[in-house]
């Protein structure tokens, strides 16, 4: 297979969680622009994302809060009924809580772990039950630089994203021979609403930029490009990796 067809997702159906803004929105748009039908999953309105794809008739909005497992069966059945099959799952939805480790609460621990790790596993499990009989599929998890590093004041986030990297390997080990590619992307410092405060802090912004070999913050589309690659036939022999898209941050 050569040329553009290596990266084409025509005829594929993808689920993207947390698709209403930021990285998730860019991923949904990137998959749609590569030819996929996209089910946009999130707690809030996805109209903007769907309009940005340029193919609103090939998009489905599914309202769901992944803080619990309640919506997982509904998500899978809604998308299956809509499109007939699920080819790609992107587990992007995530939350963060900040406090010193000495003061961190059980509630903040559980809230983050439920969304960032527990829902990732059980949604992957539910989708895999549809993929395994077909002998093909792609599951792409959104990890973090905190899958590799410790960070500060975000203990549950670091634990959850380290868990995402480990879970990615585990699922790849179990499912690679059965036709499902499971991989992850680890975003570096990306320009989104979540990083606005950091970018507006002149001292922190400079320190971050000075630490990035590329010399600049990334764009959400940079993450979308990596996801499209991992979802495509070009990555058919890629299993169990966590791919940093970080401007070289981890290399320094």
Tens digits of per-residue pLDDT, 12-61? 999 999 999 999 999 999 999 999 999 999 999 999 999 999 999 999 99
Give the pLDDT score at 1.
Answer: 41
CB of 186 closer than 8 Å to CB of 148: yes
C-alpha to C-alpha distances, 244 to 52, 104, 144, 153, 155, nearest whole angstrom:
26, 28, 8, 22, 20
pTM above 0.95, yes or no: yes
Give the pLDDT score at 5.
Answer: 87
Tens digits of per-residue pLDDT, 182-237? 999 999 999 998 899 889 999 999 999 999 999 999 999 999 999 999 999 999 99
Report DSSP state, residue 116: I
Residue among 157, 217, 229, 249 flagged as catalytic: 157
Residue range 3-242, CATH number: 3.40.50.720
Residues 170-189, mean pLDDT to the nearest whole number:
98
Tens digits of per-residue pLDDT, 69-108? 999 999 999 999 999 999 999 999 999 999 999 999 999 9
Report DSSP state, residue 2: -
Question: Which helix (DSSP H) or strand (DSSP E) does residue 245 occupy?
Answer: strand 242-245
Give the pLDDT score at 194.
Answer: 85
As a whole number of angstroms, the distance between CA 252 and CA 242 comes to 18
- Average pLDDT taken over every residue of the chain: 97
Give the pLDDT score at 75.
Answer: 98
Is 157 catalytic? The answer is yes
C-alpha to C-alpha distances, 49 to 20, 26, 240, nearest whole angstrom:
6, 8, 29
C-alpha to C-alpha distances, 96 to 54, 144, 168, 229, nearest whole angstrom:
31, 12, 20, 27
As a whole number of angstroms, the distance between CA 151 and CA 138 comes to 30
């Amino acid at each position: 297979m050569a040329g553009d067809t290596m990266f084409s997702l025509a005829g594929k159906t993808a689920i993207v969680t947390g698709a209403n803004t930021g990285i998730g929105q860019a991923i949904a748009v990137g998959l749609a622009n590569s030819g996929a039908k996209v089910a946009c999953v999130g707690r809030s309105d996805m109209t903007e994302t769907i309009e940005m794809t340029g193919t609103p008739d090939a998009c489905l909005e599914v309202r769901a809060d992944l803080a619990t497992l309640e919506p997982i069966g509904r998500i899978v059945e809604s998308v299956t009924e809509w499109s007939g099959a699920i080819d790609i799952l992107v587990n992007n939805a995530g939350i963060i809580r900040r406090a010193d480790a000495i003061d961190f609460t059980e509630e903040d621990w559980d809230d983050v772990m439920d969304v960032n790790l527990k829902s990732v596993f059980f949604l992957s499990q539910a989708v895999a039950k549809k993929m395994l009989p077909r002998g093909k599929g792609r599951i792409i998890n959104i990890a973090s630089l905190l899958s590799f590093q410790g960070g500060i004041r975000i203990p549950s986030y670091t634990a959850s994203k380290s868990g995402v990297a480990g879970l990615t390997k585990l699922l790849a080990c179990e499912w690679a021979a059965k036709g499902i590619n499971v991989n992850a992307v680890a975003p570096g410092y990306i320009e989104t609403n979540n990083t606005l405060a950091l970018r507006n802090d002149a001292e922190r912004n400079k320190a971050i930029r000075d630490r990035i070999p590329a010399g600049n913050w990334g764009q959400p589309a940079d993450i979308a490009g990596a996801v499209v690659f991992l979802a495509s036939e070009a990555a058919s022999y890629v299993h169990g990796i966590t791919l940093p898209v970080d401007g070289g941050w981890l290399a320094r």
